Chains A and B, each alone.
Chain A
Amino acid sequence: MGGSANGATDLSSEMEVDAFRRLFPLRFHERHLVESVRPDARPLGKARETSLALGAVGSADGSALAKIGCTTMLAAIKMEVMTPATDAPDEGCVAIDFHMPAICSPIVRPGRPAEAAPVVSKQLSDTILSSGMIDLKELSLVSGKAAWMAYLDIYCLDADGALFDAALLAAAAAFSHLQIPVVSLNDDGRIVVVSKQNEVEKLKNKPVNEEKRKLKLKGIPFALTCILHKNYILADPTAEEESIMETLITIVLDSSCQLVSLYKPGGPALAYESVIQDCIALSRQRVRELQTILNEAISDMEVD
């Protein structure tokens, strides 16, 4: 062990930076951490540049494109009418699905879905439904007979670390952008979507939900993933950092800074309570940033 470390130090004085980064990734990153900086010149607790664009998919009822650094997520919501379950006749349903198509990363192969995809999918589903952001009663149309099923599909277009953070942001933005389609009850007693061309039908059958077009979202959850390595806490890791230092901790807070979810799935580094408190403090800061970005994106949409 000592021998190989010496071997590395001998080589490191002669090697090019890129080669050193590929051959000894952990040492490369640790050299940066000692100076409290990361290879992309970020301080340890700072997240990458985040941007949001609402309405990215014209054919969907609600959509958003979220970018954190290079990680890109496209979320779109399609609404369909369904009959509600008998034990919850006044509630609609939300189905969340996360996809990692082969374009997003060199390690995803067609025919073999990425390991991260179902994990993030379940995490998202649990977080969004348990945070109470959406009141399922708002998705009801006719009690016991018809309710909305909202299909939320999130596609990862570029996987560069912090997938869950970006996906949650895209999901929250898509729900903020969602416009529920206007429907009316036609003569057979079925719910029919009122399209702009059916002017005549619009007069015949009064639309059922003309007033209720946007969802009221309360307590929107925002996430921050951190990496724990020795004594360091790195916020918002890139894919390279995630693959070298494997201990991740994800903290989800809502807009009033209440803890929604805490996820530390094992990993070689153990965390003292003080470390978790530090992570929560970093998350609190991040929630404020993300809230501002989301509000700006919504107000930009409304101006249009």
Chain B
Amino acid sequence: MEYVNPEGLRLDGRRPMEMRQLRAEIGAVSGADGSAMFEMGNTKVIAAVYGPREVQHRSQMVNDKALIRCEYTMANFSTGDRTRKPKGDRRSTEISLVIRQTMEACILTHLMPRSQIDIFVQVLQADGGTRSACINAATLALADAGIPMRDLVTSCSSGYLNSTPLLDLNYVEDSAGGPDVTVGILPKLDKVTLLQMDAKLPMDIFENVMQLATEGCKAVANYIREVLIQNTKQLEHRRGV
């Protein structure tokens, strides 16, 4: 199957180095301490952050830092076929763990000992790149909640089909059987916090593909910064500053 046609256009009309349209909204859930809705093309996720608050299971409390908990769930109708088990299945558990460890690396947990920060992510529509969209949404939600972080965490995926590195794969491209590299970085510090890949790829091509994903992450970071600045301006305006 042709994923990149001879003119260099992908199945959805994008160029190989083009990302899908990004859209973010802060404050999607009124009852949460921080929340955000993030869209990458047709992939829509909502993240809500509750915390820092009292640890729910006393036995798990840590005396010198905050406990981070993360749960990733998909809505029944988010994928093409209706999923029967959107929560406890292996994929959801794995992604919950990945998101937790990624965010834990950048939250300054030592500032909030004996407390708990809950990050809940709900996928409303899945069209590839759900992992990345969830991390981006979680970053925005944590910023909205005012939780101290070392840097933003942004994530993007890339792949290699028809001998072309492609940025930001959608569901069709993802299920094509080619490699799928997901990168999560701290943009200002220029450090990699998440790197996952499946399928085979020669080392030199892998470097190109990872570089492409990293640039995608930086583009997402610029967008997220803009959204946060807009949000702050609005808050200032409401306060009458």
Contacts and interface: CB of A to CB of B under 8 A. Distances in A.
Interface of A: 57-60, 63, 70, 72, 74, 76-78, 80, 97, 99, 101-106, 109-110, 151, 153, 155, 157-160, 239
Contact of A103 (B46, B56, B69, B125): B46
A59 B80 contact: yes
A190 B31 CA distance: 48
A151 B82 CA distance: 9
A60 B42 CA distance: 13
Contact of B76 (A103, A105, A151, A159): A151
B125 A155 contact: no
Given A101-B120, A110-B120, A153 B31 contact: no
A101 B53 CA distance: 19
Given A57-B124, A74-B124, A158 B76 contact: no
A58 B35 CA distance: 23
Contacts of A76: 75-77
Nearest to A112: B56
A80 B71 contact: no
A59 B125 contact: yes
B46 A157 contact: yes
Contacts of B48: 102-104
A107 B121 CA distance: 16
A157 to B, nearest CB: 6
Nearest to B42: A58
Contact of A59 (B56, B69, B78): B78
Given A57-B125, A151-B76, A153-B76, A70 B31 contact: yes
B30 A70 contact: yes
Contacts of A60: 77
Contacts of B197: none
Contacts of B231: none
Given A78-B82, A106-B50, A155 B31 contact: no
Contacts of A63: 77
Q: Ordered nearest first, which 6 A-B pairs have the shortest CB separation?
A: A103-B48, A76-B77, A70-B30, A102-B120, A153-B76, A110-B71
B82 A80 contact: yes
B57 to A, nearest CB: 10
Contacts of A57: 77, 124-125
B115 to A, nearest CB: 14
Interface in B69-119: 69, 71, 73, 75-80, 82, 118
Contacts of B50: 106
Interface residues of B, number: 29
B219 interface: no
B22 interface: no
Contacts, number: 79
A80 B48 CA distance: 32
A80 B82 CA distance: 9
B25 to A, nearest CB: 12
A104 B77 contact: no
B29 interface: yes
A102 B118 contact: yes
B194 interface: no
B82 A103 contact: no
20 contacts: A57-B125, A58-B125, A59-B79, A74-B75, A76-B75, A78-B77, A99-B75, A101-B73, A103-B32, A103-B35, A104-B31, A105-B31, A106-B31, A106-B32, A106-B53, A153-B75, A153-B82, A155-B124, A158-B28, A158-B29
Contact of B122 (A80, A97, A101, A160): A101
B120 A97 contact: no
B235 to A, nearest CB: 18
A158 B28 CA distance: 8
Contacts of B122: 101, 103, 155, 157
Contacts of A105: 31
B58 to A, nearest CB: 14
B47 interface: yes
Contacts of A72: 29
Contacts of B71: 102, 110
B77 A160 contact: no
A153 B83 CA distance: 11
A37 B98 CA distance: 48
Nearest to B44: A57
Interface string B23-43: 000001111100100000010
Contacts of A159: 31
A104 B124 contact: no
B26 to A, nearest CB: 14
Nearest to B81: A78
